[in-house]
Amino acid sequence: MIKFDSKYFRKFTFADQQTLGNIENSQKDINIAQKDKFLDVRFNYAYSALIKCGIALLSFYSQKVRSVPGHHVKILEKMAEILGDERISIIGNLMRTKRNIDLYSGGIEVTKKECEEYISLVQDVFKKVSKIIKKV
């Protein structure tokens, strides 16, 4: 049984179409991350896609994410737990930290190699989440 902390999540019944819409929204961001020529754009869309995958997965489990400090960390943790893939938590938190430095501390440098690694992880997560959600 998966336990959800009420500080970060609340029970909410999503319509199947909402859950499917959430995963489709993630796919749009993955497409941008794959195709854009700017590394910063690719990175930001990869991170966004990863978080949206988590929101989609959590909606499948009837959990709505609360917008409180630390909620992205909890999304990544729950995705890693549900999918049994610790890389999501480790690499996802590296991405989150890098994004926060970019937002709050004057910018970042993202390498092509990093982008490829991040996008590869997000594509893998997307496939796993889609497989679960498509059962709706």
Domain ranges of the chain: 12-133
The predicted structure's pLDDT at residue 24: 95
Q: How far apart are CA 80 and CA 85, in angstroms?
A: 5
The percentage of residues in the chain with a pLDDT greater than 90, rounded to a whole number, is: 91
pLDDT digits (tens, 9 = 90+) for 31-49: 999 999 999 999 999 999 9
Quote the pLDDT of residue 106: 86
User: What is the reported pLDDT for 135?
Assistant: 66
Instruction: State the DSSP code for 6.
Output: T
| CATH match of 12-133 with 1.10.150 | no
In this predicted structure, the answer to whether residue 98 has a pLDDT above a threshold of 60 is yes
Residue 57: phi and psi, rounded to 5, are -60, -45
pLDDT over threshold 60, residue 7: yes
d(CA 53, CA 92): 12
> What one-letter code names the amino acid at 96?
R
